[in-house]
């Protein structure tokens, strides 16, 4: 870092914007660490527990009233009841009886197929 370098060396090199930006970031991180240490020491003097000097910003969440939560829950229960009611009514009906082919119907189909194949062969 620039603090550890001799001023003569620092002055002789070209300071590019990237180097200056990196130096600023380094100094800011050092400043944050020093501020935390100062806050801890002050807390020890006051007899309190040390806490961070700079607290991160907390994301505030919107609060919902109990009445609002109750309305949402009741609406969801109503939706589920409608879904369950539809599925129960479908399950309550007996399944449709399968239709069976009579012997006469089967014989008619077989005769029609034989006639069709005979015409095709001829």
Query: Nearest to residue 40, comparing CAs of 54, 29, 52, 32?
Result: 52
Looking at mean pLDDT, say which of 35-39, 52-56, 72-76, 87-91 comes out highest. 72-76
Looking at mean pLDDT, say which of 3-7, 81-85, 95-99, 116-120 comes out highest. 116-120
What's the mean per-residue pLDDT of the chain? 82
* C-alpha torsion angle, residues 65, 70, 76, 78 (rounded to 10): -150
pLDDT of residue 61: 80
Compute the chain's Rg from CA coordinates: 42
């Amino acid at each position: 870092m620039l603090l550890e370098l001799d001023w003569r060396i620092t002055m002789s090199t070209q300071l590019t914007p990237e180097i200056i930006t990196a130096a600023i970031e380094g100094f800011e991180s050092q400043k944050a660490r020093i501020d935390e240490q100062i806050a801890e020491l002050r807390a020890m003097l006051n007899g309190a527990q040390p806490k961070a000097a700079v607290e991160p910003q907390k994301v505030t969440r919107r609060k919902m009233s109990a009445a609002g939560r109750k309305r949402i829950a009741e609406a969801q229960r109503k939706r589920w009841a409608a879904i369950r009611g539809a599925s129960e009514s479908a399950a309550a009906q007996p399944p449709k009886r399968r239709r069976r082919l009579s012997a006469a119907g089967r014989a008619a189909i077989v005769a029609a197929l034989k006639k069709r194949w005979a015409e095709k062969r001829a």
